[in-house]
Amino acid sequence: MANQQMNNPSMNPVPTPGGNVTFNHGGHEVLDLHEVLSGLIGQMEQYMLYKEHIQDQELMTICQNQSAFMNSQYNIMVEAFSTGKDPSMPTSSYKMNQSNDVTYGLTPSQPSKPKQSVSELDDKCISSFMMGLAKANATAMTTASLEATNPVVRRVLADSIPNFIEMAYELFLYQNKNGYYQVPQLAQQDMQQILNSFAKSPMPGQPGQNNLQ
């Protein structure tokens, strides 16, 4: 059986200089990209469902902006993956509209429990769903970029990760501003002790540093 496989050209890869244009991807890369692209499709499709239930116009604007950006990023990623070449459009940066102000501290609120009907889903639920999707896809892209062998696909993935981090952060800020996502802090004394628990390492050649010969 082994000799038959060795003598059958259709069962062995043909080495070509620079690799085949379509098949210049590693196994891990192909499987990870399949997961990434499927995750992007899922996020865009779920955003369509969420639009039917969003009540706050600000959240609707975020949903629309992120949907449009994801669509362009998806097309760029598909082109890079299917051709192994630079896409016809360059990657871009997502620009959020939220300020970076965060409200710290906890205020009394009702315990959370699962909703019992679709009609109960509110902007707090939907913005949380959206943030979870953005975080999950940022994680998937990070994993895929570490396994990508094709340099173009690796760069497209690496360029896309900060955008999904930004989208997740935008949704966090929206939730925090509306009291949906509260941010507790440690006691000031504990916080200060932890902040001061590390010191800088001296650079080579600075006084106090033993230089290795």
- Model pLDDT for residues 52-77, shown as the tens digit of each residue: 999 999 999 999 999 999 999 999 99
Rounded CA-CA distance 15/30 in Å is: 19
Within-domain flag for 133? yes
Residue 112: CB atoms within 10 Å: 8
The total number of structural domains in the chain stands at: 1
Within-domain flag for 150? yes
Of 136, 140, 145, which Cα lies nearest the Cα of 167?
136
pTM strictly above 0.75: yes
Within-domain flag for 99? no
Within-domain flag for 10? no
Contact 121, 103 (CB under 8 A): no
pLDDT of residue 101: 93
Within-domain flag for 205? no
Rounded CA-CA distance 9/11 in Å is: 5
Domain, as residue range, for 165: 26-93+121-195
What does the mean pLDDT of the chain come to?
87
